[in-house]
Structure 1
Amino acid sequence: MTGKAVIAIGGENLIDFVQTGEKNGAPVFDAAPGGSPFNVAVGLARQEVETHYVTPISTDDLGDMLAERLRASGAHIAAPRRPEPTSRAVVTLVHGIPTYAFHRDGTAERQITAEGLWQSIPQGVSALHCGSLALASGADADVWAAAMAEAAARGIFVSFDPNVRASLILDRAAYMARVGRVMQVAHLLKLSDEDLDWLYPDVSEDDAITALLATTSAGMVVLTRGPKDATAFAKSATWTQPAPKVARLVDTVGAGDTFMATLLATLAARGSLTAEALEALDEADLQHLLARAGQAAALNCAQSGCNPPSRSDIDAALAG
């Protein structure tokens, strides 16, 4: 690939109401912009990648918060704003680990059509990333799955993070079929050990990985295991990288999204957003990718909510 990478990001945007403590026995919440693909867009833009966010954002006050976060990070708001309300998530924390309750019926980020998406995705785009709630259920989920297949057919690099939210999956069989279609066209697939366990229940991790690798056409699959490590499976090599220590853990909100953004940003910087480039990755390449993505996630965990680091922040942390 030659020239500067341009990455389009699609999928939910919402406001996270994140528990920050208690007062008089009741939980206290802060409102923060969020949504997995939205966070990936912020993380990419902060690492100086040209990023176009192609999902509609509401024109309400919460939508203004979302739009301002993207603009401040340097991302382009590619889709027209919509009058429907902003989606919301209530995030409660237990020992820093988040659990989510989502409210997205009839909201702006779900108002998509195939025609509208392709009007928002810029000409000459290098990659399209999507995942999480966008694939969970509803007519919009089918639009996203079809758009990713169409992108692959057009020669666009496709990146996918299922980021499974089981509470919103109303029809497991339909969801598995939809995700299976996307996995068959994706070039880069990233998922957590919790995602893997949900997708392939009641089997060992090794058996689940074997089943996954037989399902996807991805030239690289990355499996994250929280604070333990991450493994990258490429065509020519496999590498497991320990997760860096977090000196002062605040919470893990957005850690996986920051990791995903950094994988894409690092591949973009190397000119590697192609199927051929992924096939050529060796152990040293995978170690570099995972070390950088893991460090970015660790920096995010030292702050409240999803607050991805800049490229220079990651460089400084890796330099020690």
Structure 2
Amino acid sequence: MAERPLIAVGGENLVDYVNRDGIVTAFPGGSPFNVAMALGRLGANVQYISPISSDRWGDMLARALTESSVILAGGRRPEPTTMARVTVTAGIPSYNFERKGTAERMVTEASLRAALSDAAQAIHTGSLTLTDGADAEAWETFCAACFDRGMVVSLDPNVRLSVISDIEGYRARILRMCRRTHLLKLSDEDLTGLFPDLAQAAAIALLRNVTTAPVVVLTKGKNGVSAWLDDVRIDLPAAKVTGLADTVGAGDTFTATLLAGLAELGALSPTGLETLTPDALTALLRRANIAAAFNCTREGCNPPTRDELEAALHQEA
């Protein structure tokens, strides 16, 4: 059996401190963190290259990754863990982030290069990691270098304008990064955040004209998903959610399932993506849809294992 390709993931790790109708619970989270956890549960070979705090919340985060078979490559830091105060209303979360001076932001281009395994074939990042500061600049430079050396670069901007002070500078960074990306996944809300003055069709057309990504995926919640493989468009309905708990981590589970599927197909390389067919991508998107729907049946980001996903796919067939 061929060795599984190594996927590197980096970006914010945090604790979702969730208030749901007055009941408070704490979950490990952060969009890239969730992607790494979901990849590990699906049986992918994955390393997480961002640092994690050595405080008690960091212990919880590190344990969640190692229990999901993720390699911790970013080390531990004495700075505190980032906190996300989450209020869930009708299953939909709203966030307030406390990130100043936290451990996951203590990165430089050099530290990221040092954490990255030479065997890694892909790098995924996005979300709060790219909002502002020296760490966002380091991530942009690092990802550009990964692209130039022939690694697959996967980007999910996960736009959160409410926490960004320099919105135009942020938008410019995301668009620069789109020019050195192979897999671009974003939600319809992200698209609106990037192009607030454009209708969806015009915004996605502009984005596809900007990006180098041969695969662009737009998730639209209950309206399903649209994807473009070069000039071929694919549309799928949303997968049915039986017993909605919340939508936390659904998009991250989707992204991880798509990355894991590309790895299993042997398509997780720039040349491999060139051979990807619309039928193959459609099957991967369907799988990712069902994984995301499964995650929505459990509180917090709690992605399915490979066996759980296979059972859900069998039930849907």
- TM-score, normalised to structure 1's length? 0.96
Q: Which residue is equivalent to 1:24?
A: none
CA contact (8 A) 2:267 2:275 kept: no
- The residue correspondences of 1:28-39 to structure 2 (distance < 5 A) are 28-39=23-34
Q: Which residue is equivalent to 2:173?
A: 178
Q: Which residue is equivalent to 2:217?
A: 222
Q: Which residue is equivalent to 1:60?
A: 55
Equivalenced residue count is 314
Q: Which residue is equivalent to 2:252?
A: 257
The residue matched to 1:141 in structure 2 has which SS? helix
Evaluate the alpha carbon distance shift between residue 113 and residue 54 of structure 1 in structure 2; reply closer, same or farther with a 3 A threshold.
same
Q: Which residue is equivalent to 1:102?
A: 97
- For residue 179 of structure 1, report the CA deviation from its aligned partner: 0.8
Q: Which residue is equivalent to 1:47?
A: 42
Tell me if 1:234 matches 2:229.
yes
Tell me if 1:285 matches 2:312.
no
1:174-225 Cα offsets, whole Å, 9 max, x none, are 1122111210001000000000011111221110111000110001000000
Q: Which residue is equivalent to 2:264?
A: 269
CA contact (8 A) 1:235 1:279 kept: no
CA contact (8 A) 2:9 2:35 kept: yes
Q: Which residue is equivalent to 1:189?
A: 184
In 2, the alpha carbon distance for the partners of 1:235 and 1:179 equals 20
Q: Which residue is equivalent to 2:20?
A: 20
- For residue 314 of structure 1, report the CA deviation from its aligned partner: 1.1
- For residue 313 of structure 1, report the CA deviation from its aligned partner: 1.1
Q: Which residue is equivalent to 2:161?
A: 166
In 2, the alpha carbon distance for the partners of 1:167 and 1:29 equals 23
- For residue 275 of structure 1, report the CA deviation from its aligned partner: 2.2
What amino acid is the match of 1:124? A
CA contact (8 A) 1:236 1:281 kept: no
Evaluate the alpha carbon distance shift between residue 289 and residue 176 of structure 1 in structure 2; reply closer, same or farther with a 3 A threshold.
same
1:78-98 Cα offsets, whole Å, 9 max, x none, are 012000000000111111011
CA contact (8 A) 2:53 2:79 kept: yes
The residue matched to 1:73 in structure 2 has which SS? coil
In 1, the alpha carbon distance for the partners of 2:258 and 2:279 equals 15
In 2, the alpha carbon distance for the partners of 1:108 and 1:126 equals 26
1:113-149 Cα offsets, whole Å, 9 max, x none, are 1111111110121100000000001110000011100
What amino acid is the match of 1:178? R
Structure 1 unmatched ranges of 5 or more? 22-26
- TM-score, normalised to structure 2's length? 0.97
Q: Which residue is equivalent to 1:4?
A: 4
- For residue 3 of structure 1, report the CA deviation from its aligned partner: 4.1
CA contact (8 A) 1:237 1:282 kept: no
What amino acid is the match of 2:14? L
Equivalent position to 2:118, from 114, 123, 126: 123
In 2, the alpha carbon distance for the partners of 1:80 and 1:289 equals 33
- Bigger CA drift: 227-236 or 206-215? 227-236
In 2, the alpha carbon distance for the partners of 1:234 and 1:122 equals 29
Q: Which residue is equivalent to 2:80?
A: 85
The residue matched to 2:107 in structure 1 has which SS? coil
- For residue 20 of structure 1, report the CA deviation from its aligned partner: 2.8
Equivalent position to 2:135, from 132, 140, 156: 140
In 2, the alpha carbon distance for the partners of 1:111 and 1:167 equals 22
Identity %: 49
1:93-118 Cα offsets, whole Å, 9 max, x none, are 11101111000000000000111111
What amino acid is the match of 1:301? C
What amino acid is the match of 2:208? L
In 2, the alpha carbon distance for the partners of 1:225 and 1:177 equals 23
The residue matched to 1:299 in structure 2 has which SS? helix
Q: Which residue is equivalent to 2:306?
A: 311
1:255-295 Cα offsets, whole Å, 9 max, x none, are 00000110100101111112233233333112101100000
Output the aligned Cα RMSD: 1.0
Structure 2 unmatched ranges of 5 or more? none
In 2, the alpha carbon distance for the partners of 1:210 and 1:236 equals 11
The residue matched to 1:90 in structure 2 has which SS? strand
In 2, the alpha carbon distance for the partners of 1:173 and 1:208 equals 16
- For residue 243 of structure 1, report the CA deviation from its aligned partner: 1.0
The residue matched to 1:92 in structure 2 has which SS? strand
